[in-house]
Structure 1
């Protein structure tokens, strides 16, 4: 096995991430200052790049779906899907979002409610539910699905034996993929994968720690509890991953049942069902009506900085996750056509995501608009968004049960998401890996453990939300360039494949 491992691709990113972890832990204040300066360059000066790539990839997903490319089967021409639509959709949804969806569903509108961008456009009632839908729907899932079909085509149609970003660029770069350029692409991809892991773990795990503090009235610090949660989650996803795709599928199904059960409970028992549904319908319509404007808003005069602080961060965040999630989605989509993969992905992925924001987001929004709670003022005063989410949940009947339910669901989300990340990272460690072959369990175990290093360092350094976001923005810039190469390569190779099949049939 040792001869098959690419130690350069495996170790260099880990050394870099390890170095960052030490710096964040030893010099938290200085590290935060440097990160802020780097964020300004990538997120502000180069912000237009993320906006262009975001809208461009979404439009390409529509083109691929409706064109002749949509008929291509990800596998042999007569191959059937390995998983049912529900099992496939469950793994796709849970691998791509992690527990962040619950954290942001309750709180996203609160964090930018006082931004001038909202008051410029109207009221928080009109726009509070629009931006979360926009930030988590068509463009983000477009990133995932376009790359998923590109990787699925590479793995299942062309039968390539290297499951890496660089291999997906071979139709354009040719033999350069085997040299310095290929190495650079893969190093950047693994670094981005680790950065995405750190971001998502660091954003939502403090909420889980706060729930535990609230439930059990423990006196241990939030930081300590957060690290314990990270370690427990690591154990869960490690156990699941080592049982292969069957274990991942079972955990994904459990996660989906927990998630939708929670959604239905809040909708039916929370006492705000009519408001939630009506506001959700109105927000979705407003998002569709204003989609192009929202997608191209950059705020050249920086009157609000909303685009730089939120939209650009989100596109960067999803770009970073594109190193792992699309590979996993492409892997489990064997036997489906490209059209089925894109449309099915949009239906299940966007549908489930929007339901989360409509129900949980509008529940908390109603508390604000009805005057029951002043969540905006509380956030401006304390900045403790985790405590605010707890106070929101405590207004739901049987709140203790709901808090436990949220906690277990978040652990399940994290576990299923990190199954896919650890699996993808394990594949990256191999010089060659056949389509039907899985990484050795020792390699998978190693990645399961290594993926928690940077998140723990970020938690210890008590990084602010802004600096945690910066990790994704930095890593996403080169990934955006590589994504363009991958899409270009796929279109070129798929066109060649269609011609080959046409010549063969004639």
Structure 2
């Protein structure tokens, strides 16, 4: 696989993206007291006035992907008829899963239920049996098929442009403008919106996972948690990302993703066996049933009467997060999916992605819930008191061999984040490279630059502080991508209709 050291950058895209990011991040650090309220006010306005857009984009994407997977275009291969997949199915799944969920999964899986337990949807009484039912099922809904459909659509669209239409750009604009992506001024706007969305989404993820790693280190070593430790963790993690990015797809990202897959399985099996196995399995089974029985209600609920804010604070936040990440996941999964069919990509992403996320929610989340219900650890009060990161560390430490389990958990978080940022750096470099053909990679120095640059925004977000600010960055990053989905879908459908296929 070529390193392509001399692949020239697209200078306007590169420099505008860098300057734009600095314009956003530097004021967060220097004017953190005024930026926080401003960003949250902006979030509230967008969520209230544009929330339906996110919900309808999610619904339409699921319908479209079902039609593509099971219709006449499902057998279309991304590539030439004799192309075979570059990576084994196991490595392919490991890479797409790690890229798609990142360390944020380990943050939310353990404690998301606690937010809903104290403030449940649909008018349920806090801390009631109904609250528990919704608390354990809503996370599965948010990290399930809808999320992976949002990821799969740009994968198919960008993959079709790259492998079938032979457009030599791994960019979102190629899936919307086709050959015109080389000359149209709109291409720069589209790619900058995508890069901004990815940096915002990735910054959100690192802003959530860094304090979680810090809390684990604090629990293990006694060092006080705080911004200095958080920044130290970011520097160490970004250095790890950079080393892996430098090694490339085969030696770096693939090996990290493979290691992450096996470590995650071992960790989850340990929690399941060492924890209250019967409770975890029974609660998980009931949660899946509750979600399946209510999925249409959950995906269409807008809460127009009581206006509790639940939909805006959670479902719309998640759909925006997936949208912010979607073009990046689409570009990265496109790069590793040559030789696979549209149906295989859609069904694999939706099935394996959902099952992997559900495993964390069912095992880790229900173990934490057990500690709460048995009065072993006040997880809910810690989470709702702003100590979510500490709560996660305490939950893991409560296991038999708790210190060892916490070390393994912290390593899994770091590797998850590293894999996500490796692929994010690769994707940003691809978007700011003039031309790429199948099998080629962006310049190594270019990938390294983005690996380090991605650490700036989360530092800004942590200086401001607060979950709402982190959510706001995600929502605002995902908004332009929601509009891009409409035009991307139109182009993909036109191509599929016009091109001859072996169906």
TM-score normalised according to structure 2 size? 0.95
Count of matched residue positions in the alignment of Structure 1 and Structure 2: 495
Secondary structure at 1:312's aligned position in 2? Answer: helix
Tell me by how many angstroms 1:368 deviates. Answer: 2.1
> Partners in 2 of 1:430 and 1:94 — Cα distance?
24
* Aligned 8 A contact 1:36 1:467 in 2: yes
Instruction: Please list every run of at least 4 consecutive aligned residues from structure 1 whose deviation after the TM superposition is greater than 4 angstroms.
Output: none
- The correspondence for 1:450, drawn from 450, 453, 463, is 453
Is 1:149 the counterpart of 2:152 in the alignment? no
Alignment of 1:60-459 (within 5 A): 60-117=64-121, 119-120=123-124, 123-170=130-177, 175=180, 178-219=183-224, 221-246=225-250, 247-270=252-275, 272-380=276-384, 382-459=385-462
Tell me by how many angstroms 1:111 deviates. Answer: 2.2
Pair 218,377 (structure 1): closer, same or farther in 2 beyond 3 Å: closer
Pair 377,415 (structure 1): closer, same or farther in 2 beyond 3 Å: closer
Deviations along 1:1-56, whole A, 9 cap, x unmatched? 88932121111122121122211111112101211221112111111111111111
> Partners in 2 of 1:178 and 1:291 — Cα distance?
43
* Aligned 8 A contact 2:204 2:473 in 1: yes
* Aligned 8 A contact 1:98 1:416 in 2: yes
Deviations along 1:228-260, whole A, 9 cap, x unmatched? 111111111211122221121111000111111
> Partners in 1 of 2:181 and 2:360 — Cα distance?
44
> Partners in 1 of 2:147 and 2:7 — Cα distance?
38
Report the equivalent of 1:472: 474
Secondary structure at 1:434's aligned position in 2? Answer: coil
Report the equivalent of 1:5: 9
* Aligned 8 A contact 1:92 1:329 in 2: yes
> Partners in 1 of 2:430 and 2:465 — Cα distance?
31
Deviations along 1:64-104, whole A, 9 cap, x unmatched? 10011101011111322121111110011111111111111
Tell me by how many angstroms 1:263 deviates. Answer: 0.3
Pair 398,3 (structure 1): closer, same or farther in 2 beyond 3 Å: closer
My pick for the range that moved more, 409-418 or 106-115, is 106-115
Secondary structure at 2:375's aligned position in 1? Answer: coil
Report the equivalent of 2:494: 492
* Aligned 8 A contact 2:29 2:459 in 1: no
TM-score normalised according to structure 1 size? 0.94
* Aligned 8 A contact 2:174 2:181 in 1: no
Tell me by how many angstroms 1:339 deviates. Answer: 0.7
Tell me by how many angstroms 1:383 deviates. Answer: 1.9
Pair 156,2 (structure 1): closer, same or farther in 2 beyond 3 Å: closer
> Partners in 2 of 1:36 and 1:340 — Cα distance?
40
* Aligned 8 A contact 2:51 2:316 in 1: yes
Tell me by how many angstroms 1:61 deviates. Answer: 1.0
**CA-based RMSD:** 1.7
Tell me by how many angstroms 1:498 deviates. Answer: 3.0
* Aligned 8 A contact 2:157 2:488 in 1: yes
- The correspondence for 1:48, drawn from 52, 55, 64, is 52
Tell me by how many angstroms 1:399 deviates. Answer: 0.5
> Partners in 1 of 2:7 and 2:211 — Cα distance?
40
Secondary structure at 1:113's aligned position in 2? Answer: helix
* Aligned 8 A contact 1:125 1:369 in 2: no
* Aligned 8 A contact 2:272 2:363 in 1: yes
> Partners in 1 of 2:7 and 2:213 — Cα distance?
41
Deviations along 1:306-357, whole A, 9 cap, x unmatched? 0000000000011001121111112111111111111122222111111111
Deviations along 1:369-421, whole A, 9 cap, x unmatched? 333333223434x3211112222222211100011111111110011111110
Gaps of 5+ in 1: none
Report the equivalent of 2:42: 38
My pick for the range that moved more, 260-269 or 153-162, is 153-162
Pair 123,393 (structure 1): closer, same or farther in 2 beyond 3 Å: same
> Partners in 1 of 2:298 and 2:147 — Cα distance?
14
* Aligned 8 A contact 2:62 2:146 in 1: yes
Tell me by how many angstroms 1:116 deviates. Answer: 4.5
- The correspondence for 2:63, drawn from 44, 59, 63, is 59
